[in-house]
Amino acid sequence: MKIKKKKIRIAILASNVITIPPFPPEKNVPEGWSGAPELVVHYLTEELVRRGHYVTLFASGDSKTKAKLVSVNRKSSWNLNKLSEHVDFEYLLISKVYQMAKKGYFDIIHSHFDIRSAHFAALSDTPTLSTLHSQLKKERVDILKHYKRTQYYASISNNQRKPLPDLRYAITAYNGVNTKEIPFSEKKEDYIVFAGRIHPSKGVKEAIEVAKKSKTKLYIFGSNNAQEDYWMKEIKPNIDGKLVNYMGMVSRSEIFKYLKSAKAFVFPLQWEEPFG
């Protein structure tokens, strides 16, 4: 007997700093940010819609989705030059979700904030699932330990749970990729690729050292904060356009074009990645 799957009413709560999806990244992603959580939200939202669920996406007004879109601004905080005020706008958006939940609009709220939705979740009869996209640093732990049971949590790796093992975890859901977007080539060329935020934790300086010691051309993709010492002192002086090449924040298709023929992907992490 075929079991009929229940269609549910899902609110997906995203940040309104960056558009969903974050394309093109050079326009929609602030310096030093990645846009990675926003891409995860995009894939999840569109797949849930495809499966027939009733999905409402709470995000910036310039987001593109097949779900119902609810926003508090016509554009993202970044595109409105309101990045310094983005937290206030996020709380406004979060408040809107829970006001609608109080009126019975949703069966579940899937938040992509950890702390900010926790403040509201305890006041709502609609269950909240919060995906933890970031490392559980001390300042997060100090707050979330007060909200262990008020919402459910989805970790993006089992390792991520260690600082707070007794949160109400519902699942570990590793970040996925759309393999249809990724080209493959058996033919490799004599260069290596780094892709990620230009930040000490990501090991960009170490990737440059690999390129120099192996005498292999390196292409660096990712967002940098031009005002940070790390960029000015450790990275920029090593970019010569020959051995070490900085390509900036570009589309995923452009990165994949280089990755498919690269001899290696170099990602010498200097910290515990939440998703690893």
pTM: 0.87
Q: What pLDDT is stored for residue 31 in this prediction?
A: 83
Query: What distance in Å separates the CA atoms of residue 253 and residue 23, rounded to the nearest whole number?
Result: 11
- The residues with which 217 forms a beta bridge, in sequence order, are 191
Query: What distance in Å separates the CA atoms of residue 231 and residue 257, rounded to the nearest whole number?
Result: 25
Query: Element (H or E) spanning 109, and its range?
Result: strand 108-111
pLDDT tens string 129-186: 999 999 999 999 999 999 999 999 999 999 999 999 999 999 999 998 889 999 999 9
CATH class of 9-172: alpha beta
Query: What distance in Å separates the CA atoms of residue 111 and residue 131, rounded to the nearest whole number?
Result: 6
Select from 266, 252, 187 the least CA-distant residue to 40: 252
- Within the chain, all domains assigned CATH 3.40.50.2000 are found at 182-265
Query: What distance in Å separates the CA atoms of residue 190 and residue 232, rounded to the nearest whole number?
Result: 28
What one-letter code names the amino acid at 182?
I
Q: What pLDDT is stored for residue 102 in this prediction?
A: 98
Query: What distance in Å separates the CA atoms of residue 121 and residue 58, rounded to the nearest whole number?
Result: 16
Instruction: Kindly state the tokens that stand for 129.
Output: 């699932």
- Select from 3.40.50.2000, 3.30.70.141, 3.30.9.10, 3.30.160.100 the CATH code of 182-265: 3.40.50.2000
For residue 1, is pLDDT > 60?
Answer: no
pLDDT band with cut points at 50, 70 and 90 for residue 85? confident
pLDDT band with cut points at 50, 70 and 90 for residue 227? low
Would you call the peptide bond into 21 cis, given omega within 30 degrees of 0 as the criterion? yes
Q: Please give the distance of CA 63 from its chain centroid, rounded to a whole number.
A: 15
Query: What distance in Å separates the CA atoms of residue 101 and residue 92, rounded to the nearest whole number?
Result: 14
Would you call the peptide bond into 24 cis, given omega within 30 degrees of 0 as the criterion? yes
